[in-house]
Chains A and B, each alone.
Chain A
Amino acid sequence: MSFGSPWFTLPEFTYHKPKTLKEALELLDKYGEEAKVMAGGVGLLAFMKERLMAPSHVIDLKGVPELGQAIYKEGEGLTIGATVTLNELARYGPLKKFGALHDAVRDIADPIIRNRATLVGNLCEAIPWVDTPPALIALGAEVEIRSLKGERRVPVKDFIKGPVEIDLEPGELVTAVHVPEPRRNSRSRFIKYNTGSEFALVSVAANVVMDGGRVRDVSLVYGAVSSTPQVAVKAADALKSAEKPWEVLDEVGRIASEEVEAVSDVLASEEYRRHLIRVLTLRVLREVMG
């Protein structure tokens, strides 16, 4: 029973399930903007029910074996295929080396959703409050894109162009996300402020490289604060230039809370978000520097 309401039904489309990457790319090339790819389908089917999307062709990637693999190579990093689910990734041992990503993927939505939802899908939705982009940006991750014309790589930071807007042309497919090997003496974490399985009001990923008692390098990236993930450059500089970094954490949190773009919406006011940014910055830095 579906009551004929858009909330309960999907618009009509033709379902395709290619068995090779070549076949998938040919379908994408043939149907162009008429097509959407599906991995876990969690986001796509929700968008389609609400009629925010109505592709004539849905291309299910789960029949393509090479897209279903997460592969870690020492010294090179971690490559996560387009159909690897969040639960599969969470269980993959080497993920622990990538602290911020490990934190983020284990706490998205709920465990049943994570049986279907994928990392690449979570990223490609580019909804401002999803969790994996801040973690991926802090870790310097890149998106691997293929089409019949060739392949290219784009840093995650540039891949997300706006809310629900990504750097992807018709005919192109995100085949994987690549996270480089963490630098020596580095440590990263991701934390978010939310209730239950709700979306984050503010999230932050931090990746630091320690050098004795000083911070040689740090990346601070905020999610859910504005239309795209925000990188706090001034706050990072303040931490790097401090001779005794532990003594300036309050100041770093304050700079970050003033520096990044933050908006008011139904979930939280700008003022509240800036307060949360200050508090979460302090917390995440204590974790990664400790």
Chain B
Amino acid sequence: MREITLTVNGERRKAMVKDNELLLDVLRDKLYVKSVKAACWRGECGLCTVLMNDRLVKSCLVLAVEADGAEILTAEGLVKDGEPSPIQKAFIEKGALQCGFCTPAFVISSHKLLTMNPNPSDEEIRSFLSGLICRCGTYNQIIEAIRGAQKAYASR
């Protein structure tokens, strides 16, 4: 076991981890960041996606020890003073979810996309999000949600 330090959604957190533990499991089970979903554990569904040092990664493919010292941002971290961020509001307004299980991963990934490019084409959105799976099939509504939040990112 060794101690790692992560900055999770702006807060410094410490955890004791084994070398073979995945960042996904440490985030969920030791730091209780429950928006990070565990579904396939093999990098296919993308629902454990987080921003690590401002880069999107699937946390089931990252060792917790590798992330020592890293900054992690998840959907929880987008909420400011109890107020959902523009992209989160847009997901609700456009009904870009059905069961909601994939929503945090799509939210954090859409946030990253709009931060880099506030005016992506439909094709750029589809390509950027192609590593995430929504089994309810709300892909078109997700694109609408991204369109709905665009303005807020353009003016940042």
Give A contacts to B, CB under 8 Å: 1-2, 7-15, 17, 40-42, 45-46, 49, 58, 60, 62, 109-113, 115-116, 196-197
Would A49 and B42 be within 8 Å (CB), given that A1-B29, A2-B25, A13-B19 are in contact? yes
Q: Which of B22, B62, B109, B130 contacts A116 (CB 8 A)?
A: B62
CB-defined contacts of B132 to chain A, threshold 8 Å: 112
Query: CB-CB contacts of B79-109 with A at 8 A, as 1s and 0s?
Result: 0000000000000000000000000000001
Q: Could you list 18 A-B pairs, sorted by A, with CB under 8 Å?
A: A1-B28, A1-B29, A2-B25, A7-B42, A9-B20, A13-B19, A45-B61, A46-B42, A46-B43, A58-B63, A60-B63, A110-B46, A110-B131, A111-B127, A112-B109, A113-B131, A115-B57, A116-B61
Give B contacts to A, CB under 8 Å: 18-22, 25, 28-29, 38, 41-43, 46, 49, 55-58, 61-63, 65-66, 109, 127-128, 130-132
Secondary structure dominating the interface of B: mixed
Q: Which of B42, B63, B131 contacts A15 (CB 8 A)?
A: B63
A113 contacts B66, C-beta separation under 8 Å: no
Q: Which single residue of chain B is at the shortest CB-CB distance from A60?
A: B66
CA distance A5 to B56 in the complex (A): 27
B41 contacts A58, C-beta separation under 8 Å: no
A197 contacts B19, C-beta separation under 8 Å: no
CA distance A189 to B83 in the complex (A): 49
CA distance A65 to B18 in the complex (A): 26
B57 contacts A116, C-beta separation under 8 Å: yes
A12 contacts B55, C-beta separation under 8 Å: no
